[in-house]
């Protein structure tokens, strides 16, 4: 620790204490919070003392890769069960199944109409609100 480090104007925290605490916590955010300084400020102080902060950062745990249940291709979302192609096919299969059953199809059409009506009502309300505030 050199003396000139202690005399930087505007410095609130004692750098030696900051460094000491950082070496205990190994966390810029937490250290900064204790001294009321930003994590960036902690990083500057610690780095100036020759301590590399980048090495201590823990690597993020790797996300588990998902694969299409149908063909085994990797899927782009962690929630997706099927690849792009198979997802579409599944929707098509579902649509065909609904359409083949007249009762289901009628029910499905009713639902769509209801959603459509609600959506239009919401849109009407939004435009009315906007014209009132404008
Ligand atoms: Zn697939």
Q: Quick check: 49 and 1 in contact, CB under 8 A?
A: yes
Question: If you measure from the C-alpha of residue 81 to the centroid of ligand 1, how many angstroms do you get, rounded to a whole number?
Answer: 9
Tens digits of residue pLDDT in 26-77:
899 999 999 999 999 999 999 999 988 875 556 667 777 889 999 999 888 8
Span from the CA of 1 to the centroid of ligand 1 (angstroms):
60
Evaluate whether residue 61 is within a structural domain. Answer: no
pLDDT in tens, 65-109: 889 999 999 888 878 889 989 988 888 888 899 889 999 899 999
Query: Is 44 within a domain?
Result: yes
Q: What is the 78 CA–ligand 1 centroid distance (Å)?
A: 14
How many Å lie between the centroid of ligand 1 and the Cα of residue 68?
Answer: 5
- Tell me, yes or no, whether 25 lies in a domain: yes
Determine, yes or no, domain membership for 122: yes
76 in any annotated domain: no
68 part of a folded domain: no
Domain of 12 in residue numbering reads as: 3-48
Domain count, the chain: 2
Structural domain contains residue 70: no
Q: Is residue 58 part of a domain?
A: no
Counts for the chain of helices (H) and strands (E), in that order: 5, 0
């Amino acid at each position: 620790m050199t003396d000139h480090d202690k005399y930087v104007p505007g410095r609130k925290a004692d750098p030696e204490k900051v460094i000491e605490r950082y070496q205990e916590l190994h966390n810029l955010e937490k250290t900064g919070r204790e001294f009321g300084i930003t994590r960036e400020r902690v990083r500057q102080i610690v780095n100036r003392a020759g301590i590399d902060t980048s090495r201590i950062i823990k690597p993020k745990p790797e996300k588990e890769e998902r694969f299409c249940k149908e063909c085994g291709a990797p899927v782009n979302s962690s929630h997706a069960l099927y690849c792009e192609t198979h997802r579409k096919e599944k929707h098509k299969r579902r649509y065909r199944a609904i359409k083949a059953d007249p009762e289901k199809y009628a029910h499905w059409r009713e639902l769509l109409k209801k959603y459509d009506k609600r959506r239009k009502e919401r849109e009407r309300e939004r435009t009315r609100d906007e014209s009132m505030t404008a």
